[in-house]
Structure 1
Amino acid sequence: NSRIQINDFDPIIHLNANLMKKLLILKEWRSFSLPSFPGRSVSKWLALCAALLVSAHVFAQSSDRLTIDLKNASLERFIGDVQRQSDYSFFYKDSEINSNERITLSVKDKNIDEILSLAFRGTGISYRIEGKHIF
């Protein structure tokens, strides 16, 4: 008989046979894995994703820039203008804002933090920004 019999009492041959079976199984598994892409295609996809992320970040920053032009306006009017021009929402108690207080503010293409600092300067009003909410 030309077939080689594996003797269960010989541990080295037994280990080699088990190892060969595992290697065959791994080889079959590899054939079912996802196809690999050539290096250039991956590089192009990564470059495209990076460009989209950068453009989204720039767009998000530019959309947060506001223009406010108010003369002797109430704080409620100022808050309404900011909410209309942006995605920001204000949360405050009526008792925290003096309805008789007036502001004059003229800014162009400024971010929300700069605008709030200028608007509330000298009023004693403090604020914090969390996402698109102003408290």
Structure 2
Amino acid sequence: MTTEFPHTEEIKAILKDKADFVRQDGLNYLIPKWKRFTDNYADNEELIYEWLNEMDARKIIDEILVILPNTESAKITEVLKAIDTKFIEKTFEINECVWSDKVEKENKYDRQKNWYYYRVNQNLFESEVGQFTKRQ
């Protein structure tokens, strides 16, 4: 595994309750995972549980970004910009949080900050008929 991104004790503390492979490699696992998902599956995934797993990975990246020094955070944000743009191009915004209203409220998800929880692709939209409505 490449160590392109920092993996400090502070980052490890954020990841203490995550899966072993996430704890072990941190951003060096999460960012390539987000890129692979965006490149290969963001436009055709149809399983809600897989989708939620990927969105949670993106949220963990955000949790790490806020503790990094500004220079490091800026570098990673620049890397994420292209990946996020591609994800946005392959999806559309919905009115609901993909996790449900209950989870949204419990975790205080915000449409601006946690924007990825408010987007789906057409396949997922169709497989979860009645769960989501497109945002106008």
Q: Judging by fraction of residues, say which structure has more helix.
A: 2
Higher relative contact order (CA 8 A, sep 6+): 2
State the TM-score, normalized to the length of structure 1.
0.24
State the TM-score, normalized to the length of structure 2.
0.24
